[in-house]
Structure 1
Amino acid sequence: MRSIVLTTALLALGLAACGHNVEQRAATGAAAGLVIAGPLGAAVGAGVGTVISKSNDKK
């Protein structure tokens, strides 16, 4: 289970940069996470997408 969550987080991190705003990045991360690990993966992916977006916006 731990490896699935880690894989989901890494995949979501890579895909979370896709998009132009917070909502698009969170949705992309959530979709990737959902495909890999179901509802838990969707939550992790959405969180990663939001964090990536906030860090990109500060630059």
Structure 2
Amino acid sequence: MRTTIGLLAAAGLALSLAACGHNTEQRAATGAVAGAVVGGPVGAAAGAAAGTAVSKTVDK
């Protein structure tokens, strides 16, 4: 239970940091770095995907 709550909090943090930047590349990089800190290589991939998704949504 404690691990699940920690992972959810980390995912929320990664998603909020993924919005930092002015273009898709910057947002993907920020998300990847935040994800790598939280979850290692898997977190980096998830953070980059989240940064790209946020960028596509914000740019519309």
Q: TM-score, normalised by structure 2?
A: 0.83
Runs of 4+ in 1 over 6 A off after TM superposition: none
Q: Which has the larger radius of gyration?
A: 2
| Structure 2 unaligned spans of 5+ | none
The residue that corresponds to 1:47 in the other structure is 49
| Structure 1 unaligned spans of 5+ | none
What RMSD, in angstroms, separates the aligned Cα atoms of the two structures?
1.5
* Equivalent pairs, count: 57
1-structure distance, mates of 2:46, 2:9: 11
Percent identity for Structure 1 against Structure 2 = 63
The residue that corresponds to 1:33 in the other structure is 35
Q: TM-score, normalised by structure 1?
A: 0.84
